[in-house]
Structure 1
Amino acid sequence: MAHEKNAKGNYYCKHLGAACDFQIVGVDSRKVISFIRSLKYDSIYYYGKDSPVHVSWSETPRRKIWEFTTHNTPKPYLGASNQRQYEYCWMNRRDAAVAEAEQRGRQWGFDPDPEPELADW
Protein backbone atom coordinates (compact mmCIF):
# COMPACT_ATOMS: atom_id res chain seq x y z
CA MET A 1 0.00 0.00 0.00
CA ALA A 2 1.21 3.50 -0.78
CA HIS A 3 1.40 5.94 2.11
CA GLU A 4 1.35 9.66 1.38
CA LYS A 5 4.39 11.75 2.36
CA ASN A 6 4.76 15.50 2.78
CA ALA A 7 7.39 17.72 1.14
CA LYS A 8 9.92 16.83 3.89
CA GLY A 9 9.50 13.12 3.18
CA ASN A 10 7.55 12.40 6.37
CA TYR A 11 4.34 10.39 6.39
CA TYR A 12 1.19 12.44 6.82
CA CYS A 13 -0.30 9.72 9.00
CA LYS A 14 1.84 7.90 11.56
CA HIS A 15 -0.60 4.97 11.38
CA LEU A 16 0.51 4.25 7.78
CA GLY A 17 -3.02 3.86 6.60
CA ALA A 18 -5.17 5.09 3.78
CA ALA A 19 -8.16 7.43 3.67
CA CYS A 20 -10.86 8.77 1.41
CA ASP A 21 -13.81 11.14 1.48
CA PHE A 22 -17.02 10.08 -0.23
CA GLN A 23 -20.74 10.71 -0.34
CA ILE A 24 -23.63 8.57 -1.54
CA VAL A 25 -26.01 11.08 -3.08
CA GLY A 26 -29.49 10.90 -1.56
CA VAL A 27 -28.37 8.80 1.44
CA ASP A 28 -28.09 10.32 4.92
CA SER A 29 -24.42 10.15 5.97
CA ARG A 30 -25.48 8.74 9.36
CA LYS A 31 -26.76 5.64 7.54
CA VAL A 32 -23.44 5.33 5.74
CA ILE A 33 -21.58 5.56 9.07
CA SER A 34 -23.91 3.00 10.58
CA PHE A 35 -22.84 0.54 7.88
CA ILE A 36 -19.12 1.43 8.05
CA ARG A 37 -19.15 0.69 11.79
CA SER A 38 -19.45 -3.01 10.89
CA LEU A 39 -16.18 -2.86 8.91
CA LYS A 40 -12.53 -2.52 9.92
CA TYR A 41 -11.74 1.21 9.99
CA ASP A 42 -9.39 3.55 11.82
CA SER A 43 -11.32 6.84 11.94
CA ILE A 44 -14.53 8.27 10.54
CA TYR A 45 -15.22 12.00 10.31
CA TYR A 46 -18.87 13.12 10.16
CA TYR A 47 -19.53 16.62 8.80
CA GLY A 48 -23.32 16.52 8.50
CA LYS A 49 -26.10 14.31 7.16
CA ASP A 50 -25.80 15.76 3.64
CA SER A 51 -21.98 15.98 3.57
CA PRO A 52 -19.23 13.56 2.51
CA VAL A 53 -17.86 11.11 5.08
CA HIS A 54 -14.11 10.78 5.69
CA VAL A 55 -12.95 7.22 6.41
CA SER A 56 -9.43 6.07 7.19
CA TRP A 57 -7.99 2.58 7.47
CA SER A 58 -4.91 1.29 9.27
CA GLU A 59 -3.37 -2.05 10.28
CA THR A 60 -3.93 -0.96 13.90
CA PRO A 61 -7.41 0.62 13.81
CA ARG A 62 -8.41 3.00 16.61
CA ARG A 63 -12.10 2.79 15.65
CA LYS A 64 -12.84 6.44 16.48
CA ILE A 65 -15.73 8.42 15.05
CA TRP A 66 -15.64 12.20 15.20
CA GLU A 67 -18.37 14.71 14.45
CA PHE A 68 -17.17 18.14 13.35
CA THR A 69 -19.14 21.16 14.52
CA THR A 70 -19.99 24.14 12.31
CA HIS A 71 -16.79 25.69 13.74
CA ASN A 72 -14.82 22.63 12.51
CA THR A 73 -14.18 21.45 16.06
CA PRO A 74 -14.17 17.66 16.54
CA LYS A 75 -16.28 16.01 19.21
CA PRO A 76 -17.22 12.35 19.73
CA TYR A 77 -19.90 11.28 17.26
CA LEU A 78 -23.27 10.42 18.77
CA GLY A 79 -25.30 9.83 15.61
CA ALA A 80 -28.32 11.75 16.87
CA SER A 81 -30.78 13.24 14.41
CA ASN A 82 -32.72 15.41 16.87
CA GLN A 83 -32.39 16.96 20.32
CA ARG A 84 -34.15 14.08 22.12
CA GLN A 85 -31.86 11.44 20.56
CA TYR A 86 -28.84 13.64 21.26
CA GLU A 87 -29.77 13.94 24.94
CA TYR A 88 -30.39 10.18 25.23
CA CYS A 89 -27.03 9.36 23.58
CA TRP A 90 -25.26 11.99 25.67
CA MET A 91 -26.76 10.68 28.91
CA ASN A 92 -25.65 7.12 28.10
CA ARG A 93 -22.12 8.30 27.35
CA ARG A 94 -22.10 10.49 30.44
CA ASP A 95 -23.14 7.55 32.63
CA ALA A 96 -20.37 5.41 31.11
CA ALA A 97 -17.81 8.19 31.67
CA VAL A 98 -18.90 8.64 35.30
CA ALA A 99 -18.60 4.88 35.91
CA GLU A 100 -15.14 4.78 34.31
CA ALA A 101 -13.97 7.78 36.36
CA GLU A 102 -15.22 6.15 39.56
CA GLN A 103 -13.33 2.95 38.73
CA ARG A 104 -10.16 5.04 38.40
CA GLY A 105 -10.85 6.87 41.65
CA ARG A 106 -11.56 10.18 39.93
CA GLN A 107 -14.50 12.55 39.80
CA TRP A 108 -16.08 13.26 36.43
CA GLY A 109 -17.12 16.81 35.47
CA PHE A 110 -18.64 18.49 32.43
CA ASP A 111 -19.29 21.86 30.87
CA PRO A 112 -23.06 22.48 31.17
CA ASP A 113 -23.11 25.05 28.35
CA PRO A 114 -24.68 23.59 25.20
CA GLU A 115 -22.83 23.50 21.91
CA PRO A 116 -23.74 26.64 19.88
CA GLU A 117 -25.07 24.60 16.93
CA LEU A 118 -27.53 22.77 19.23
CA ALA A 119 -29.09 25.97 20.54
CA ASP A 120 -31.49 26.12 17.57
CA TRP A 121 -32.92 22.59 18.03
Structure 2
Amino acid sequence: MGHEICNRPGAACDFVVNGYEEDMQRIAQFICQQLSFDKLYFYGRDRPIHISISNNPLRHLQVMHQSEKGRCYPGKRAYGYNVLDLVKKL
Protein backbone atom coordinates (compact mmCIF):
# COMPACT_ATOMS: atom_id res chain seq x y z
CA MET A 1 0.00 0.00 0.00
CA GLY A 2 2.61 2.52 0.97
CA HIS A 3 5.53 3.30 3.17
CA GLU A 4 4.86 2.90 6.89
CA ILE A 5 6.10 5.79 9.02
CA CYS A 6 5.73 3.91 12.30
CA ASN A 7 6.57 0.34 13.27
CA ARG A 8 3.32 0.05 15.28
CA PRO A 9 0.45 -1.25 13.12
CA GLY A 10 -2.79 0.69 13.22
CA ALA A 11 -4.24 3.94 11.94
CA ALA A 12 -4.00 7.59 12.89
CA CYS A 13 -5.64 10.91 12.13
CA ASP A 14 -5.79 14.56 13.16
CA PHE A 15 -9.22 16.02 13.87
CA VAL A 16 -11.26 18.87 15.32
CA VAL A 17 -14.85 18.50 16.53
CA ASN A 18 -17.32 21.10 15.25
CA GLY A 19 -18.50 23.28 18.12
CA TYR A 20 -15.38 22.47 20.18
CA GLU A 21 -12.76 24.25 18.04
CA GLU A 22 -11.65 26.33 21.05
CA ASP A 23 -12.33 23.61 23.65
CA MET A 24 -10.47 20.53 22.40
CA GLN A 25 -9.26 19.63 25.89
CA ARG A 26 -12.82 18.48 26.60
CA ILE A 27 -12.59 16.13 23.62
CA ALA A 28 -9.23 14.80 24.86
CA GLN A 29 -10.75 14.26 28.31
CA PHE A 30 -13.68 12.33 26.83
CA ILE A 31 -11.37 10.13 24.76
CA CYS A 32 -9.11 9.35 27.74
CA GLN A 33 -12.08 8.56 29.99
CA GLN A 34 -14.25 6.62 27.55
CA LEU A 35 -12.33 5.20 24.60
CA SER A 36 -9.49 2.85 23.82
CA PHE A 37 -6.59 4.47 21.94
CA ASP A 38 -2.93 3.88 21.25
CA LYS A 39 -1.48 7.40 21.31
CA LEU A 40 -3.05 10.81 21.71
CA TYR A 41 -1.05 13.99 21.05
CA PHE A 42 -2.59 17.12 22.55
CA TYR A 43 -1.32 20.33 20.92
CA GLY A 44 -3.57 22.84 22.68
CA ARG A 45 -7.14 23.80 23.44
CA ASP A 46 -7.61 25.34 20.00
CA ARG A 47 -5.57 22.85 17.94
CA PRO A 48 -6.45 19.51 16.30
CA ILE A 49 -5.90 16.32 18.26
CA HIS A 50 -3.69 13.62 16.78
CA ILE A 51 -4.80 10.13 17.75
CA SER A 52 -3.85 6.62 16.77
CA ILE A 53 -5.39 3.22 17.33
CA SER A 54 -3.74 -0.19 17.44
CA ASN A 55 -4.53 -3.80 18.27
CA ASN A 56 -2.36 -3.37 21.39
CA PRO A 57 -3.20 0.15 22.60
CA LEU A 58 -0.61 1.87 24.80
CA ARG A 59 -2.97 4.57 26.14
CA HIS A 60 -0.15 7.10 25.73
CA LEU A 61 -1.08 10.77 26.20
CA GLN A 62 1.58 13.23 25.06
CA VAL A 63 1.11 16.94 25.72
CA MET A 64 2.87 19.07 23.13
CA HIS A 65 4.04 22.69 23.48
CA GLN A 66 4.97 25.30 20.92
CA SER A 67 8.14 27.39 21.08
CA GLU A 68 8.23 31.11 20.33
CA LYS A 69 9.53 30.16 16.88
CA GLY A 70 6.51 27.90 16.26
CA ARG A 71 8.23 24.54 16.66
CA CYS A 72 6.43 21.83 18.63
CA TYR A 73 8.19 19.99 21.43
CA PRO A 74 7.01 17.33 23.92
CA GLY A 75 5.92 18.19 27.44
CA LYS A 76 4.34 15.94 30.04
CA ARG A 77 3.22 12.44 29.13
CA ALA A 78 1.36 9.59 30.78
CA TYR A 79 0.55 5.95 30.05
CA GLY A 80 -2.28 3.60 30.92
CA TYR A 81 -4.78 4.87 33.41
CA ASN A 82 -2.34 7.59 34.53
CA VAL A 83 -3.59 9.54 31.50
CA LEU A 84 -6.73 10.33 33.52
CA ASP A 85 -4.73 12.44 35.98
CA LEU A 86 -2.82 14.29 33.25
CA VAL A 87 -5.81 14.96 31.01
CA LYS A 88 -7.63 16.69 33.90
CA LYS A 89 -4.83 19.29 33.97
CA LEU A 90 -5.22 20.31 30.32
**Alignment TM-score > 0.5, same fold:** yes
Q: Give the one of 38, 46, 50 matched to 1:50.
A: 46
Mapped partners of 1:64, 1:19: distance in 2: 13
Corresponding residue number in structure 2 for 1:17:
10
Answer 1 or 2: which has greater helix percent.
1
Q: Note if 1:36 corresponds to 2:19.
A: no
SS of the aligned residue for 2:66 comes to coil
TM-score (norm 1): 0.55
Mapped partners of 1:43, 1:76: distance in 2: 14
Give unpaired runs (5+ residues) of structure 2. 78-85
Answer 1 or 2: which has greater strand percent.
2
Kindly report structure 1 stretches of 4+ aligned residues shifted beyond 4 Å: none
Mapped partners of 1:20, 1:58: distance in 2: 12
What is the percentage of aligned positions where both structures have the same residue? 34
Corresponding residue number in structure 1 for 2:81:
none
Give unpaired runs (5+ residues) of structure 1. 82-121
SS of the aligned residue for 2:13 comes to strand
Instruction: Tell me if structure 2 keeps the 8 A contact 1:15–1:60.
Output: no
TM-score (norm 2): 0.72
Quote the offset at 1:13 in angstroms: 1.7
Instruction: Note the 1:1-121 alignment, pairs <5 A.
Output: 5-6=2-3, 11-27=4-20, 28-37=23-32, 38-71=34-67, 72-77=72-77, 78-79=86-87, 80-81=89-90
Task: Give the CA RMSD over aligned residues.
Answer: 1.7
Q: Aligned AA for 1:21? A: D
SS of the aligned residue for 2:63 comes to strand
Give the total of aligned pairs: 74
